[in-house]
Amino acid sequence: MKKVYFDNAATTPMRAEVVNKMTEVMMINFGNASSTHSFGRSSKALIENSRKSIAKHFNALASEIVFTAGGTEADNLILRSAVRDLGVTDIITSKIEHHAVLHTLEALSNEYNVSLHFVSLLDDGNIDIEHLETVLTSTEKALVSLMHVNNEIGNILDLKRVAQLCKANGALFHSDTVQSVGHYKIDLQDVAVDFITASAHKFHGPKGVGFAYIRKNSGLKASVFGGEQERGFRAGTEAIHDIVGMEEALNISYNTLEEETAYISDLKHYFITKLQDVLPQASFNGASKCFESSTYTLVNVCLPIAPEKAPMLHFQLDLKGIACSKGSACQSGSTLGSHVLSQILDEEQLKKPSVRFSFSSFNTKDEVDYVIEVLKDFVEN
């Protein structure tokens, strides 16, 4: 059976170069980075070299990069400390954020005297910047938490504009950049965001490792206690092979960014064109069809399928060897619908099945042809 992996927004296949680099580290550099002997110093050097290398990609200081187990932990670290240690009383966010942010904010609102404000959305799912500015002017000690690239519909936030608004109103700015790191360049000297987060498995690196960017002198404090690893932000013996693997994956992603962006963009354009030719009644959710306001890595499609037949769609796609997603992977096992689509689609649209197809440089146009043919056959038969 043919196998097609179009779920790269959920996770990506690791590059062979990354696997080889990690294997080498696991075999040779097994010392505890906190040990003072040569084995420990060798491991420590690898970690700090990776930190410097990663920081350089974002025009940041090495000391501003804190290694974590992934984006979810990084989001939790930042948001919790902002409320607990910085005295944030108001948090401005949107209802289409990743659950790593939404569920954390819900917990914080229950645990602390913090008010949540949800910024309005435009019809295509983009943030209403004018409403954001209005809300900002009505708060005092505020933090804005808005993702850079939405993981379900791909909409891109104007980071620089939001950062300027936050700075003008004395607010902190946190952005979940898990879907954009490795796919877009972010200059943290040019864009005054205070905190960003990343996860290596979104850019062909290993799972279980990521990082938080925490701007110098932010005042954030640790949430995990024990040793003094990561300048006290995250206690625990470092997974050296994962950190080095993440660095390798990020280096390759940014060294090949122009070439791979062009390739994947062409693949997305080809997918849209073929789908519209075969199923002209299909529509695209959010701004996912637009290359200017949505990421080049995914499309979210609402298919012209009767409600009674819709539940079988993902089962049939899986039977045909096609991997895609009806929402974010974090909720794909849930019986609930997409919390993102529920905010931007009407009741009739929500009755039809929506599917997220997300691409990488490992995919081909032949795979697109196969997926379109399977979709056509399912809709028409």
Burial of 371 (0-12, 13-18, 19+ CB in 10 A): buried
Check residue 286 and give its pLDDT. Answer: 94
Fold: same for 4-12+257-380 and 16-255: no
Of 189-198, 257-266, 335-344, least confident by mean pLDDT is: 335-344
Average the pLDDT over 139-157 and give the result.
96
Active site residue 166: no
Look at residue 102 and tell me whether its pLDDT is greater than 70: yes
Q: Report residue 7: phi and psi, to 5°.
A: -130, 45
Query: With contact defined as beta carbons under 8 Å apart, do 59 and 85 qualify?
Result: no
Of 220-229, 330-339, 340-349, least confident by mean pLDDT is: 330-339
For the chain, give the secondary structure using H, E and C.
CCCEECECCCCCCCCHHHHHHHHHHHHHCCCCCCCCCHHHHHHHHHHHHHHHHHHHHCCCCHHHEEEECCHHHHHHHHHHHHHHHHCCCEEEECCCCCHHHHHHHHHHHHHCCCEEEECCECCCCCECHHHHHHHHHCCCCEEEECCCECCCCCEECCHHHHHHHHHHCCCEEEEECCCCECCECCCCCCCCCCEEEEEHHHHCCCCCCEEEEECCCCCCCCCECCCCHHHHCECCCCCHHHHHHHHHHHHHHHHCHHHHHHHHHHHHHHHHHHHHHHCCCCEECCCCCCCCCECCCEEEEECCCCCCCHHHHHHHHHHCCEECECCCHHHCCCCCCCCCHHHHCCHHHHHCCEEEEECCCCCCHHHHHHHHHHHHHHHHC
Look over the chain and give the mean of its residue pLDDT values, rounded to a whole number: 94
Check residue 228 and give its pLDDT. Answer: 82
Instruction: Return the CATH number of 4-12+257-380, one of 3.90.1170.50, 3.40.50.720, 3.30.365.10, 3.90.1150.10.
Output: 3.90.1150.10
Q: Where are the domains of the chain?
A: 4-12+257-380, 16-255
Of 155-159, 194-198, 233-237, least confident by mean pLDDT is: 233-237
Look at residue 327 and tell me whether its pLDDT is greater than 70: no
CATH architecture assigned to 16-255: 3-Layer(aba) Sandwich (3.40)
Check residue 335 and give its pLDDT. Answer: 52
- Please compute Rg for the chain using Cα positions: 21
Active site residue: 290, 302, 324, 330, which one? 330
Confidence label for 328 from pLDDT (cuts 50, 70 and 90): very low
